[in-house]
């Protein structure tokens, strides 16, 4: 197995969702009281903070999918 074939990428299934996901990331960071990186560099953030943002994004996306599947909206 070559190094290239084992590398991971975060390719979006729907590339047009990039802006919406970025907006969600900013909203969640704001809700959690984590200052937003104005330059887009997140290297100065702790793994805990970034994990919290990612975890809440996942939770919210699952809620949106569940609502969509159930045919309801909140």
Q: What is the pLDDT of residue 1?
A: 42
Task: Report yes or no: 34 and 45 within 8 Å, Cβ to Cβ.
Answer: yes
Per-residue pLDDT of the chain (74 residues; tens, 9 = 90+): 444 445 667 777 888 888 899 899 999 999 999 988 788 788 888 999 999 999 999 999 999 999 999 986 55
Read off φ and ψ for residue 30, nearest 5 degrees. -65, -45
How many domains are there within the chain? 1
Q: What is the pLDDT of residue 3?
A: 47
Residue 52 lies in a domain: yes
Residue 6 lies in a domain: no
Residue 49 lies in a domain: yes
Q: What is the pLDDT of residue 12?
A: 74
Residue 58 belongs to what domain range?
Answer: 14-31+45-74
Q: What is the pLDDT of residue 2?
A: 44
Residue 72 lies in a domain: yes
CA-based radius of gyration for the chain: 15
CA 64/CA 26 separation, integer angstroms: 17
Residue 40 lies in a domain: no
Give the start-end residues of each E strand in 3-63: none
State if pTM tops 0.75.
no
């Amino acid at each position: 197995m070559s190094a290239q074939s084992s590398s991971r990428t975060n390719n979006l299934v729907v590339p047009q969702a990039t802006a919406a996901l970025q907006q969600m990331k900013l909203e969640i960071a704001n809700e959690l009281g984590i200052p937003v990186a104005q330059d887009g560099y997140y290297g100065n953030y702790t793994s805990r903070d970034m994990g919290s943002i990612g975890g809440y994004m996942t939770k919210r996306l699952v809620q949106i999918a569940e609502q969509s599947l159930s045919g309801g909206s909140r």
